[in-house]
Amino acid sequence: MTDQPEDPAEAGIRLGHLETDLSFVTRILRTQIQERNARFYRAHGAAGGEVAVLSLIAMNPGMTQKDLARAVVLKKSALTKLVNEMDAQGLIERRKECADLRLNALHLTPHGQERLARMRPEMTALQEALLAPLSPGERVMLFELLWRLVGSLEGPFGDEGGSDA
């Protein structure tokens, strides 16, 4: 027996217009992804958003906290809390690297690099399992379409901020 919700269509529930409602379908998908990833986060003691933050800083050493907040779609206050925790754990460090001393350039510490490297194989396996029903071409198409939607909407990479979680 599983805690995952049953597919509404398999349960005989008619979805009607909800079958093509982006908010409805993505909420179901997000819930299923979170449930599948929960074991990974528990096993690694990782906080929500930590993997994305480590990955982004690794690929963009020296990025500012403001740019990081926009990329992970978190409000400044939520990201500040996460960055403070990761700094206290010795995973990242803040450096003053430009004339504007208010800006922090973020870098992974050796401990942060090691933690990310340890998690990466399992992260890759999780992604592979999630995308298994799709062919390589369908995967490319899926992400092209998703990023087109993201790019067409106000908010996630705009100045309006993100979510608290």
Per domain, the residue ranges of the chain are: 15-45, 48-123+135-165
Measured distance CA(115)–CA(11) in Å, rounded: 41
Query: Quick check: 81 and 88 in contact, CB under 8 A?
Result: no
Per-residue pLDDT reduced to its tens digit, 46-99: 887 899 999 999 999 999 988 998 898 878 888 889 999 999 999 999 988 777
Measured distance CA(102)–CA(146) in Å, rounded: 34
Per-residue pLDDT reduced to its tens digit, 27-44: 999 999 999 899 899 999
Q: What is the mean pLDDT of residues 114-136?
A: 95
CATH 1.10.10.10 correct for 48-123+135-165: yes
